[in-house]
Chains A and B, each alone.
Chain A
Amino acid sequence: MTAIAALPAGGPGASEQFEELYRSSAAEVYAYVASLLRDRSAAEDVTSLAFERAYRRRALFDVHRGSARSWLFTIARNAALDELRRRRRTGALLHDVADDSAQLGELDDEVAERRLLVRDGLASLEPADREVILLKFVGRLSNAEIARVLRCSESNAGTRLHRAIQRLREVCGVTR
Chain B
Amino acid sequence: MSRDELSASQLAELAALDRILMREPVEEEHLELAALVDSVRANAPRMDPTFAAALERRIAARRARRRPPRPALARLATAGGGLLAAAVALAIVISSGVLNSASSPTATTTTGHPRLQAPALAPATPTHAPTTATATPSNGTAVPSGAASSSAPTTAPPPSVAPARGRLVHRVSTLTLAAPPAAMAGVANRVVAATEHSGGVVESSNVSIQGSSSQASFVLAVPSGRLPGLIATLSSLASVRALVQNTADITDGYNAQLARLADSVAERAALLKQLATVATSAQATSIQQKIAALAQRIAAEHRAVERLRSAGHSAALDVTVVPGASKHAVALPAGPLTAAYHRALHALEQILAIALIALAIALPFALSALALWWGAGVVRARARERALNV
Contacts and interface: CB of A to CB of B under 8 A. Distances in A.
Contacts, number: 147
B145 interface: no
Given A85-B387, A118-B40, A30 B47 contact: yes
Contact of A40 (B36, B40, B45, B389): B45
A122 B39 CA distance: 10
Given A59-B69, A118-B39, A158 B14 contact: yes
B387 A81 contact: yes
A162 B59 contact: no
**At the interface, is chain B mostly helix, strand, loop or mixed?**
helix
B4 interface: yes
Chain B, interface size: which category?
35 or more
B68 interface: yes
A20 to B, nearest CB: 12
Interface stretch (B17-25, B152-160, B320-328): B17-25
A100 B59 CA distance: 28
Nearest to B74: A59
A51 B63 CA distance: 12
B46 A31 contact: yes
A49 B272 CA distance: 104
Nearest to A123: B43
A168 interface: yes
B248 interface: no
B390 interface: yes
B98 interface: no
Given A10-B68, A26-B52, A115-B43, A127 B59 contact: no
Contacts of A137: 21, 37, 40-41, 44
Given A31-B45, A36-B388, A81-B384, A174 B17 contact: no
B376 interface: no
A34 B33 CA distance: 23
Most central of B6, B14, B36, B48 by chain A CB within 10 Å: B36
A143 B4 CA distance: 13
Given A85-B387, A138-B44, A15 B66 contact: yes
A69 to B, nearest CB: 13
B40 A18 contact: no
B113 interface: no
B387 A169 contact: no
Interface string B194-211: 000000000000000000
A159 interface: yes
B69 A10 contact: yes
Contacts of A134: 40, 44
A24 interface: no
Given A118-B39, A176-B32, A85 B384 contact: yes
Contacts of B18: 1, 142
Contact of A158 (B6, B41, B68, B390): B6
Given A127-B388, A162-B6, A165-B36, A48 B71 contact: no
A114 B35 contact: yes
Contacts of A138: 40-41, 44
A148 interface: no
B384 A82 contact: yes
A11 B58 CA distance: 21
Nearest to A79: B384
A173 to B, nearest CB: 12
Contact of B45 (A26, A30, A122): A30
Contacts of B70: 59
Nearest to B39: A118
Interface string B362-390: 00000000000000000001011101111
B55 interface: yes
B340 interface: no
A16 to B, nearest CB: 9
Interface string B53-80: 0011011001100101111100100000
Contact of A31 (B44, B71, B389): B44
A58 B63 CA distance: 12
A128 interface: yes
Nearest to A155: B4
Contacts of A40: 45, 48
Interface string A138-167: 101011000000010101101101100100
B388 A84 contact: yes
Most central of B14, B40, B70 by chain A CB within 10 Å: B40
Nearest to A86: B387
Contact of A136 (B11, B17, B46): B17
8 contacts: A27-B47, A30-B47, A51-B55, A84-B388, A131-B388, A134-B40, A137-B40, A159-B5
Interface of B: 3-6, 10-11, 13-14, 17-18, 21-22, 32-33, 35-37, 39-48, 51-52, 55-56, 58-59, 62-63, 66, 68-72, 75, 381, 383-385, 387-390
Closest 6 CB pairs of A and B: A59-B69, A118-B39, A81-B384, A34-B45, A31-B44, A84-B387
